[in-house]
Chain A
């Protein structure tokens, strides 16, 4: 799937590509600078999955370290001046978010922060432990691609917050919605039963279609629904698997 993302990106030919970097304390938008395509490649390869903020040097940079360091074929530009909000990358994939002008970095520029500089500034000012890392773990929760401001807006960017709501998705959870899903599911089972065991014809497949739609609507509504009883998520999961299994009965009447 990661390769698929990279391939789609190759064919996208975006004039103004952006990477939306989501952290557990807020989002940043990165625009091209230097070797941006390398950063795109890294993001699409999922290199920043579970990455986290490492060493913070408040007079130079905020470091984001990968879970799995890599070996990149890049030439460090130690003599080049790194400016505030620039993003540089080291050979092992570590990102350096520059918070004050500096030189002598064993890295190369790959992007610049165009939105969410307040998040970077807030991370810079967080209390640090003995290893000069934030006392509280800050993770990269996701990295997404966008090409227009409208797309970025549609993602719902969020500024710095120490208690960020991590959910970006929503659910239809109104009782009417869930009740309709349950009714559709029950109706589907009834139609399936009649078509499969009584009439032995295509009605069974129509019934299964209703079951599939009802089951999906119920699933989409209940995933984010507050847990009402222990094992609710497991039950939802098994319900989903049972739906997949049931679909192999499609167009099977004998």
Chain B
């Protein structure tokens, strides 16, 4: 008898851990240790995660776009024009380090948090599709209200004060929002959460059969990142690593699906070799982007005090931009591989979720 495809990429535990349980678990650990662990003492861990998770996740985007001729042909404008836009912004920032630079950095910082939210919504909708859960238009709005509400609550809390903010050596202005602004966004997120509980979670509980809890994991995780996690400085430092971990998990799977032909069975050794090679390349790519590129720019005559800030802001803006283009789920070439699972790569006779549903 043909085996039914699982709606997990690997299994319930692996998917839950990489997409959220690591984050939520860490939150409770740092909450319990509050006052005992400071950012200074946690710094070696954060640096280690930069090397093996954060930076490779930026490199993985470039690997996906520039490492495949098919993708270059599909997104020629993104591949060619976006780097030019970014180089232009970085150059303008270096020429006007006080007039343009701080605003470029502020632009990038806000885009970063927005990008985290867009990823959370994207992963939620991906799993909804995998599990067969359909969101109505109102429910999609509520999901967006919850996820973006979390980000907006955190982001506006950080900009209530009239203190200037900083990224590496660059100071940038605060929006100086009124104190009621974060509360307004908090209200939106709470109303959206209640709506989702009534319209999505309650029917899910009442339905017989396996409960697709995994759909809720990204949004709940996102809530921990921006709302209770905002008050835990060590946890806040780790949020980019948790976001990167989610990304790497899906990008790793996508790479496996695309680089291993779906016609013949593959060994577990082949899976491991392909995965390690991909991760190793991205670690090297991350080092190139975050250590080498600023150095080269400085050698080329950039203002040394700010060069790292502007180049690294540029690298990240490039990532946000490209990600928004190459991971569109309405694109069949993107969504189709993401409807498979690891079991199916190892055993090609197992149908994909879409194929099984169609049958």
Instruction: Report the stretch among B13-21, B33-41, B250-258 that lies at the interface.
Output: B33-41
Q: Is the CB of A220 within 8 A of B100?
A: yes
Task: Tell me the minimal C-beta distance from A235 to chain B in angstroms.
Answer: 11
A47 is contacted by which of B35, B39, B46 (Cβ under 8 Å)?
Answer: B39
Instruction: Report the stretch among B110-118, B213-221, B274-282 that lies at the interface.
Output: B110-118
* Given A7-B50, A8-B308, A147-B304; A2-B237 close (CB under 8 Å): yes
Q: Is the CB of B171 within 8 A of A142?
A: yes
In this complex, which of A4, A144, A154 has the most chain B Cβ atoms within 10 angstroms of its Cβ?
A4
Instruction: Report the stretch among B23-31, B74-82, B189-197, B340-348 that lies at the interface.
Output: B74-82
Q: Is the CB of B171 within 8 A of A169?
A: yes
Task: Tell me the minimal C-beta distance from A222 to chain B in angstroms.
Answer: 10
A236 CB within 8 Å of chain B: yes
**Contact string, A159-184, partner B, CB cutoff 8 A, digits 1/0?**
00000001111111000000000000
B305 is contacted by which of A5, A44, A146, A236 (Cβ under 8 Å)?
Answer: A146
Nearest chain A residue, comparing its CB with the CB of B106: A223
B337 CB within 8 Å of chain A: no
Task: Tell me the minimal C-beta distance from A126 to chain B in angstroms.
Answer: 20
A6 is contacted by which of B47, B111, B118 (Cβ under 8 Å)?
Answer: B47
Q: Is the CB of B46 within 8 A of A2?
A: yes
Q: Is the CB of A142 within 8 A of B324?
A: no
Q: Is the CB of B43 within 8 A of A144?
A: no
A2 CA to B163 CA, complexed, in Å:
18
A1 CB within 8 Å of chain B: yes
Q: Is the CB of B77 within 8 A of A151?
A: no
Nearest chain A residue, comparing its CB with the CB of B181: A234
A11 CA to B51 CA, complexed, in Å:
14
Please name the 7 residue pairs, one residue from A and one from B, whose CB atoms are nearest each other, closest first. A220-B103, A3-B46, A169-B102, A70-B38, A248-B324, A151-B305, A45-B40
B321 is contacted by which of A206, A233, A247 (Cβ under 8 Å)?
Answer: A247
B-contacting residues, A1-33, CB 8 Å: 1-8, 11
B-contacting residues, A200-254, CB 8 Å: 202, 205-206, 209, 212-213, 216, 219-220, 223-224, 233-234, 236-237, 240-241, 244-245, 247-248, 250-252
Q: Is the CB of B103 within 8 A of A248?
A: no
Nearest chain A residue, comparing its CB with the CB of B166: A142
A219 is contacted by which of B40, B98, B107, B167 (Cβ under 8 Å)?
Answer: B107
B-contacting residues, A135-149, CB 8 Å: 139, 141-142, 144-148
B164 CB within 8 Å of chain A: yes
B-contacting residues, A26-57, CB 8 Å: 41-42, 44-47, 50
Q: Is the CB of A46 within 8 A of B39?
A: yes
A-contacting residues, B196-218, CB 8 Å: none
A250 CA to B331 CA, complexed, in Å:
13
Nearest chain A residue, comparing its CB with the CB of B155: A237
**Number of chain A residues close to chain B: CB under 8 A:** 64
Given contacts A8-B308, A205-B78, 10 further A-B contacts (CB under 8 A): A7-B47, A42-B40, A93-B38, A151-B304, A167-B164, A169-B103, A169-B164, A205-B81, A244-B115, A248-B118
Task: Tell me the minimal C-beta distance from B236 to chain A in angstroms.
Answer: 10
A237 CA to B172 CA, complexed, in Å:
14
Nearest chain A residue, comparing its CB with the CB of B77: A205
Task: Tell me the minimal C-beta distance from A136 to chain B in angstroms.
Answer: 16
- A interface residue numbers (CB < 8 A to B): 1-8, 11, 41-42, 44-47, 50, 68-72, 93, 139, 141-142, 144-148, 151, 154-155, 166-172, 202, 205-206, 209, 212-213, 216, 219-220, 223-224, 233-234, 236-237, 240-241, 244-245, 247-248, 250-252
Residues of B within 8 A of A248 (CB): 118, 324-325, 328
Q: Is the CB of A45 within 8 A of B43?
A: yes
A-contacting residues, B281-308, CB 8 Å: 290-291, 294-295, 303-305, 308
Q: Is the CB of B78 within 8 A of A41?
A: no
**Which secondary structure dominates chain B's binding surface?**
helix
* Given A223-B103, A247-B321; A5-B168 close (CB under 8 Å): yes
Residues of B within 8 A of A46 (CB): 39, 233
Residues of B within 8 A of A142 (CB): 164, 166, 171
Q: Is the CB of B50 within 8 A of A47?
A: no
* Given A151-B305, A154-B303, A252-B325; A70-B40 close (CB under 8 Å): yes
Q: Is the CB of B40 within 8 A of A4?
A: no
B354 CB within 8 Å of chain A: no
Residues of B within 8 A of A93 (CB): 38, 40
Residues of A within 8 A of B127 (CB): none
A3 is contacted by which of B47, B100, B325 (Cβ under 8 Å)?
Answer: B47
* Given A147-B304, A169-B171, A248-B325; A209-B107 close (CB under 8 Å): no
Residues of B within 8 A of A224 (CB): 173
Q: Is the CB of A8 within 8 A of B168?
A: yes
Residues of A within 8 A of B85 (CB): 209, 212-213
A220 CA to B106 CA, complexed, in Å:
9
Q: Is the CB of A71 within 8 A of B77?
A: no
B97 CB within 8 Å of chain A: yes
B68 CB within 8 Å of chain A: no
